[in-house]
Amino acid sequence: MLENDLKFLEETFKQYYFDHFDFIHIPDRSLEREYGYKKFNSGMSRHISLKTDKDLHLLLMTNLPSDVFCSNGYYSFPNLPMTEKDWKEADLIFDIDAKDLNLSCRKDHTCIKCISCGEVSLLQDVCPKCKSNKLDRLSLPCQNCISGVKKEVLNLVKILTADLRIDDKNIRTSFSGNEGFHLYVTNSPYNQLGSKERGDLIDYIMFRRAIPERFGFKKNNPSRSSFPDLDDPGWSGRVAKDLFGSKSKRSKGITKIISDGYSVYRQRLEEMGKNSIGVKIDPNVTVDIHRIFRLEGSLNSKSGLAKLACDNIEKFNPYAEACLIGDEPVEISANSPIEFRLKNRRFGPYTNEKISVPKYAAAYMLCKGIANLV
C-alpha cells in the first residue's frame, strides 16, 4: 500500500474510533479473554489482556489498528502464550460468507488485480496488460450476495434452535464488515466442546457424511416405511421435503430410490448437503477454540465497513447501516471495472479516473485495492 494511502486509512480509522467509541465495548467476562490487533502493512499482535472499555479505547488511539480482535475462548491467563493460557471454554461461533455460497452473480462483481503490474480488470485468467497469471481476486459484493448469506443465517438459526435446543436469546448475529455474517452462541452446553466435538457438530449442521441407513435405505432389504416423511422433525423432514417435494410424490420417489440403488442414494444425500439443505458455513472457524475474532463495532480493513450487530437481519442493509465513515469529499484515482453501491449511492465503473467521492467510498475503494489518493 502506498504511503499516502496508508496514512489516509490510519487517520480515517482513528477518526472513526474517536467518533464512535459508543459502538466499541469490552464483551462479557473480559478478564478471561484474549485480545489482538493488526496494523496496516504489518502482522498480528495478540495475547493482550484488557479490563475495561477505557483500556480498549487507549489501544485503539495509540496503535491505529486496521483490525481489532477478541477471543471466543475463555482462559485463566489470557495474556500468556497459548500453551500456558489454561483454556476453560469457548463461545460457539459461525462464519457465513458470500464467497462460500457459489452464487451465479459472483463472477459479475469479481475483478482481478495483477500482482506484477497493478492493473485492475474484469475477471479473467491473465492480466490483459502484462499477461501475468499472478493475480489477486477482488470482490465487490452485491445485494443478491447479502440476500443469499441472510438466507443461510436464518437456516442456521432454525437448526440451532429447533434441533440443538439453543435458546434464541443466546444467539447473536453480526454483519462481519465485509461480505458475511457471524453468529455467536453463548451460555450454552456446547461452549464446553473441544475442537473434535465441534467438528462433529459442523458435520450435522452442514449435513455432511450422511449415510443412507439413517434416511431409510437398508442395503439388504430396504423397507418403504423406513424412509423419511415430510412431517418428520429435524433432518429427516428436511431430507424428505428435498427428495419428494410433496406427500403425494413420496411413494413414487421411494420406488425410484430403491430402483436406483444404495450408492446412488448415498451420492444424492451428499449432493443435498453441498447444494441444497446443508448450511454453508466456514467449518474452520467453528472448530477453532483459540480463535481471536473481529470485535463488534470495529472496522474491517478489507472494506472500511463496521462489524455491527443486527437485531432484524432481514431488514438490515449492511452497505448503508455499516457504512459509518464520514462523507467529506476526497480526491482519488479510481480503477474499478465493477459498479457498487454504498449508502444507496451508485459508484463506478471507473477506468483510471480522477474523481471526487465521499470519504466512506474512498476508504472502501482503497481497502479493496481499486483506488489511490491523488
C-alpha cell at 164: 440443538
CA 50 to chain centre: 25
Cβ burial of 190 (10 Å; 0-12, 13-18, 19+) is middle
Question: 275 near 331, Cβ under 8 Å?
Answer: no
327 is catalytic: no
Q: Is 301 helix (H, G, I), strand (E, B) or coil?
A: coil
- What's the CA gap between 100 and 291, in Å, rounded? 20
Longest dimension (CA), the chain: 74
Any idea what the Cα angle at residue 19 is, between residues 17 and 23, rounded to 5°? 65
217 — phi, psi (to 5°)?
-100, 105
108 is catalytic: no
136 is catalytic: no
C-alpha cell at 30: 473480559
Q: Which of 55, 97, 125, 203 is catalytic?
A: 97
Q: For residue 248, how many other CB atoms are within 10 A of its CB?
A: 8
Q: Which of 282, 288, 311, 327 is catalytic?
A: 282
- What's the CA gap between 182 and 209, in Å, rounded? 24
- What's the CA gap between 220 and 271, in Å, rounded? 23
Q: Which of 67, 91, 95, 242 is catalytic?
A: 95
311 — phi, psi (to 5°)?
-75, -35
Q: Which residues are catalytic?
A: 95, 97, 282
